[in-house]
Structure 1
Amino acid sequence: MNAYFDIILRSAAVYVFMIAALRIFGKKELSQLNTADIILILLISNSVQNAMVGPDTSLWGGLAAATVLFALNFGFKKLMRKSKWFGNLIQDKAQVLIHNGKLDFKQLSELDISNDELKEAIREHGVEHFSDVKLAILEPDGNISIISGEARLRQTHFKRKHNRKNLTAL
């Protein structure tokens, strides 16, 4: 078999595996990048490198693998926009956590979102009490969006479990 064709097949297999793994572990994991998560990403990338390029560690072998990954990513995004079924298969839907001040405890439990974490999210959006929240949604990217019942809506950004130490270093 042609060495570059082998790299293309291997890279495609690793890409599809990684998409499936992220889908299984859920969107919550995407927004919670802490030190352990960064280490995991680095180790995964190192562990799958040989699976993609095999014994070919040349510049051309690496470029072939990278090209396949970019092309697959481009194709998947196009397909997700064009096919609702495929988009739903690959990407989670937004999930309501609070509706008109009422918490959805079942959803919060399934998503493993603690009371303290939800309180932090609503404070980040300038809302004091759960009862003041018109809508709280866990977005597909793992962020929590809050819409208050106030006439003046406040737009802020809350990233789940951000590391305050990293923010003070900036």
Structure 2
Amino acid sequence: MAILLGIDWAELFGFSVPISEMIIRGTAIYWFLFIVFRFVIPRDVGAIGIADILILVIIADASQNAMSGDYKTITDGMVLIAVMVGWNLAFDRFAFYFPAFRRFATPASLCLVKDGRMLKRNMRREFITDDELWGHLRMDGVESLDQVRAAYLESDGGFSVIKKAGSEHHNPHSPSRSESM
């Protein structure tokens, strides 16, 4: 392409790295990060803390060079972004249509309270302290564990509480949901 307005259009929109290499790099990093976030980093209880933001920034910076292969053009960046978005959409579709893939891609809900009793083993598994659990129970209007039939850490990090029949103090602004089992 010709240089127009002092801009080398070929340098901006050409390819500096082969497309196949970008697809392979993007795919490899996407799968690696998925495995890390799905199986290594525990779910947080519905909140993003400073440490979470920091780890995301560091991972993004560290993975950029591994994905890019030192790309230099806008088109290279667009292809790499398209690969990452494509994998994300594929995961969503696979999880919707294939239950076996959904079980792999999305952690199951984890029961933290059953019939008014804290399940300490499950709490330890996700590093949830008594104080964190009580904070979420209070947001749902729970004053005593006797009011709780079950409380779950959901796959998205949210919290849901199923109260026993006849329990009082429902908080309509709570993000939790009450359901019968």
Instruction: Give RMSD over aligned pairs.
Output: 1.9
Given candidates 74, 95, 98, the residue that maps to 2:113 is 98
**2:32 matches 1:17:** yes
Given candidates 157, 163, 166, the residue that maps to 2:175 is 157
CA gap 1:96/1:146 in 2 versus in 1, 3 angstroms: same
**2:54 matches 1:39:** yes
Shift of 1:78: 0.5
Distance 2:146 2:153 in 1: 18
State how many pairs are aligned. Answer: 157
TM-score, normalised to structure 1, is 0.84
Distance 1:49 1:26 in 2: 20
Q: Is the 8 A contact 1:133 1:149 kept in 2?
A: yes
Q: Secondary structure in 2 aligned to 1:136?
A: strand
**2:146 matches 1:128:** no
Question: What residue number does 1:112 align with?
Answer: 127
Larger radius of gyration: 2
Give per-residue Cα distances to partners, 1:90-110, cap 9 Å, x unaligned. 211001111221222221222
Given candidates 160, 164, 180, the residue that maps to 1:145 is 160
TM-score, normalised to structure 2, is 0.79
Which one scores higher on RCO, CA 8 angstroms, separation ≥ 6? 1
Q: Is the 8 A contact 1:27 1:140 kept in 2?
A: no
CA gap 1:79/1:95 in 2 versus in 1, 3 angstroms: same
Distance 2:39 2:45 in 1: 12
Shift of 1:7: 0.5
Q: Is the 8 A contact 1:79 1:87 kept in 2?
A: yes
Give per-residue Cα distances to partners, 1:104-156, cap 9 Å, x unaligned. 22212222211111111100111111111122001001111112225475451
Shift of 1:29: 3.9
Amino acid at match of 1:141: D
Any gaps of 5 or more consecutive residues in structure 1?
159-170
Amino acid at match of 1:58: T
Distance 1:24 1:50 in 2: 23
Q: Is the 8 A contact 2:147 2:163 kept in 1?
A: yes
